[in-house]
Amino acid sequence: MPPRTSVPPPRRLPLLVTSDSDLLDDLLRLAAAGGVEVDLAPDPVAARSRWAPAPLVLVGTDQAQQCLRARLPYRRRLVLVGRSGDLEPGWEVADLMGAEHVATLPAAEPWLVDRFAECGPDQPVPGGARAVAVLGGRGGAGASILAGGLAVTAARSRLRTLLVDADPLGGGLDLVLGWEQLDGLRWPALTDAEGRVDAPALVRALPSRGDLVVLSWDRGDLLPLPAPAMAATLDAARRGRDVVVVDLPRHLDDAAVTALQTVDRAFLVVPAELRATAAAARVVAAAAPHCADLSLIVRGPAPGRLKAAEVARALGLPLAGTLRPEPGLCRGLERGEAPAADGRGSLAALCQRIVGELTGAPAAGAA
């Protein structure tokens, strides 16, 4: 295994969305009392990339209407906050935003201190499942195989896992697992979903085996995937699963951006080739602004002896690992065998390490 040069993902901080300096001073004081640092955004434009990953979001009344117009995705642990007298239409606006609470200062100060304290460094991160995304630096890079391997590995570790196919042009992740004959809903039946989706009902409706559930595309007509459908599905997945793995397209549509903003970590898979590295640079430019923790996985062989560290330097990404050639893996996929299912080989070892790092527990088959 190559030395890991990436660092553990940073802890997500509560997000304050306000340009009211007096309100901000009050919230910073309450956050300090709760023993937690916070992230700041003066408006929804600045908040968008941090909206979904934050463990807690507080929106000031001065930015409530702007957030509504920005159509930010639904999320849990959203609080509308302001002073008495500023919250006359508070519950109406809160309902439209999907906020769970309206906090009126100064009466709600002790309650807010407790909410901040729940996000402190010694507390578990709220929000349910850990989520990871995979995307390819070029076509055929192997991102879908890595995504499938991560999901299979997590399920082998007795983690309730959802594998989400976010690439409408990928042919269907059920094929990667050999699950194309399994009954269950595919994306075309869920593209109208929005708001709050019942997590147990979603899991029951999808193709599954053991602890692994898959949301894939079918081979029918190509349909657009709206961002609200992706947001609602991932919110349900966070509530109902332990691990979520998302296979992203290289050309990021709104739904893919929503997913990328939601995950805890993302991995870019790049073959050890000069042209693939050049193509991957464009993917990095599109993806990096939406992801706080993007790192690189380099796949061999390297026809020109290009080293993984050189690819990482060229792309400006931390190197999370490498994948050696596995001819048997490709043969197994053609026979309908899921990647990393036997727990052996370069792919399985990398997936075991990533799942362990993501969840904080050893994965099945890990040394």
User: For position 221, what pLDDT does the model report?
Assistant: 84
pTM: 0.70
User: For position 88, what pLDDT does the model report?
Assistant: 63
pLDDT by position in tens, the chain (length 367): 343 333 344 557 899 999 999 999 999 999 999 889 999 999 999 998 788 778 899 999 999 999 988 888 777 789 999 987 776 666 777 888 888 889 999 999 999 998 898 887 644 444 468 899 999 999 888 999 999 999 999 999 999 999 999 998 888 889 999 998 899 999 888 877 766 677 788 888 999 999 999 999 988 888 888 888 888 888 888 888 899 999 999 999 989 998 998 888 999 999 999 999 999 999 999 999 888 799 999 999 888 889 999 999 999 999 999 999 888 887 888 888 899 898 889 999 999 999 998 887 655 554 3
Q: Is the peptide bond before 224 cis (omega within 30 degrees of 0)?
A: no
Spatial CB neighbours of 206, under 8 Å, sequence gap ≥ 6: 162, 184, 185, 213, 214, 215
- β-pair type (208-209, 212-215): antiparallel
In DSSP terms, which residues pair with 245 in a beta bridge?
132, 163
How far apart CA 315 and CA 136 sit, in angstroms, is: 13
Determine how many CB atoms are found less than 10 A away from the CB of residue 111: 14
How buried is 283 (Cβ within 10 angstroms: 0-12 exposed, 13-18 middle, 19+ buried)?
buried
SS3 content of the chain, % helix, strand, coil (to 5): 40, 15, 45
- Give me the amino acid identity at 51: W
Spatial CB neighbours of 33, under 8 Å, sequence gap ≥ 6: 113, 116
Determine how many CB atoms are found less than 10 A away from the CB of residue 329: 19
Exposure string (b/e) for 182-199, b if CB count within 10 Å is 16 or more? eebebbeebbebbeebeb
Tokens of 226: 């709206």
How far apart CA 197 and CA 148 sit, in angstroms, is: 24
Tokens of 196: 């709050």
Query: Do 214 and 206 meet the contact criterion of CB atoms below 8 Å apart?
Result: yes
With H, G, I as helix, E, B as strand and everything else as coil, classify residue 312.
Answer: helix
Closest CA to 367 of 332, 23, 350: 350
Query: Do 145 and 339 meet the contact criterion of CB atoms below 8 Å apart?
Result: yes
Distances (CA, A) of 302 to 35, 55, 57, 310, 324: 49, 41, 45, 12, 10
User: For position 366, what pLDDT does the model report?
Assistant: 44
Query: Do 59 and 75 meet the contact criterion of CB atoms below 8 Å apart?
Result: no
Spatial CB neighbours of 71, under 8 Å, sequence gap ≥ 6: none
